[in-house]
Chain A
Amino acid sequence: MEEKVCTMQDLGPGDMIERTFSGKSIIICRSDQGIYAFLNRCPHQGALLSKGKIGGSPAATKNPGEYCFQREGEILRCPWHGREFDITDGGNTLTPDRSKLKEFMIKIEGEDVIVSTERKKSKAAQA
């Protein structure tokens, strides 16, 4: 199943919008690199991710006390407990805990953003 959910004009880098696909609430997120679709439900306790925020995050570092903020527009934080999900990496969390968002395939035709039922595998799952 495929469905047009929005156009590229509907959101810029760092934005997120909520749409319905196949009867389910989903979010479309855009970074500088691409556009992504996820189920609008946090895998932790089920918060609506559309109420969260896309931003950046301090990079992992070997030096306690060092904050290196990066990846602006690529990290989605849940509105409840604030867990961080990498939208450019299949919705994997930034911790080693293996939980991830449910991602949908997406393709762009002209200006149209089209979502399909098939779920992408995360990089970790493909490896």
Chain B
Amino acid sequence: MKEFDGKTCRLIDADIHEKVTYADLLPYLGQPWKRYIADANWVQEKHMPYTQPAVAGVNRADAMLPDGRDAGSDLPFMREQLLDACGHDIGILTGALDPSPSSMHGWYEMAATLATAYNDWQIEHWLEKEERLYGSIHIAAQDPKTAVEEIERIGGHPKMLQVLLPIDDIAWGDPMYHPIYEAAEKHDLVIGMHHNEPPVQFGKWPRYFIEWHALIPTSHMIQVTNMILNGVFEKYPKLKVMMIEGGFTYVPFLMKKLDQQYKDLRHEVPWVTKMPSETIKNHFCFTTQPLEEMTKREWNNLVEQMGTDDIIVFSTDYPHWDYDSPEQALPNGLSEEVRHKIMVENALRFYPKLKRRDM
């Protein structure tokens, strides 16, 4: 397995979206699944009432391919526009979001089959073709039995770093998901949580996209809180969770609030034995994007409240419209040492399957 020199690495990007078409998945599907897509044009149900946030919808306008294909669908173009241009050492793929098997609200057999097809397609077309790209295992988390089978099947792949759970309407502390955590822990896989269509407003959509997008961190807070208070980390002491695309600026508040509540209400959750803020520091990381514009002083204030900057990991979210530039997104004036932690060190330490040469 490749080893990385933490000193010479310049950029690890924890959130890159590759794009798949349903037709791409057909060679990886058996029957009857194939015919539902090929003959009946089946596509996963969609809920979002707004797809218009930026000039080219939900993607960067300059990420669409010159021949009109979707942003994120072509590896050579991604190499040129992102990996080479920004100097990536490692990029972690986090899925197309459509299909998004764990977000299907029914027909779990199809979800499980799609997850398997997606993983095989991802390995063949991205991970095996580009050394710098690493992957996320897709599962149908609604059906933990097949989800565990898929983790067992593919979890040993050296470039699969995490199991991806889109945030949806059942919080992830629920005991039904625990076998997934057990399997992830066994294979040195992180749990990567990326919202897809999160229930930021009582399981429904707010009236405007700007409301939904501004409140995405609330759906991340629900998951972090729910996992901690359901005792997931007492039960799985090696488990790590990467919270993707919610930013990190809500974390200081959540640490303080959960600690205060825990001191008052521990009796209700006696299986929780550690201070929630400690559990956050020991088990979670948070990707930066979409990072609010802030000064160095504001950044430092947040870090001071968290008591650490070890849990902040840089991400671009390429090719989506709310992409963060590796050169421009962090506040001006951060020291090289801090930048290096955010851009490289923290991710390298966090993902068990990224091996460091200099440790």
Show the binding face of A for B, using Cβ within 8 Å. Answer: 44-48, 51-53, 77-82
Contact = CB atoms under 8 A, between A and B. Distances in A.
Nearest to B323: A80
A79 B324 contact: no
Contact residues on B (Cβ < 8 Å of other chain), bracket: 10 to 19
A81 B327 contact: no
Given A81-B322, A82-B321, A47 B55 contact: no
Contacts, number: 43
Which 5 A/B pairs are nearest by Cβ-Cβ distance?
Answer: A79-B61, A82-B54, A51-B62, A45-B328, A45-B325
A52 B322 contact: no
A45 B61 contact: no
Contact of B60 (A44, A46, A53, A80): A80
B329 interface: yes
Contacts of B61: 51-53, 79-80
A52 B56 CA distance: 9
B325 A81 contact: no
B53 interface: yes
B53 A82 contact: yes
Given A45-B325, A45-B329, A46-B328, A81 B62 contact: no
Nearest to A78: B55
Nearest to B322: A81
Contacts of B329: 45
Nearest to A77: B55
A17 to B, nearest CB: 16
A49 B323 CA distance: 15
Given A51-B61, A80-B60, A45 B324 contact: yes
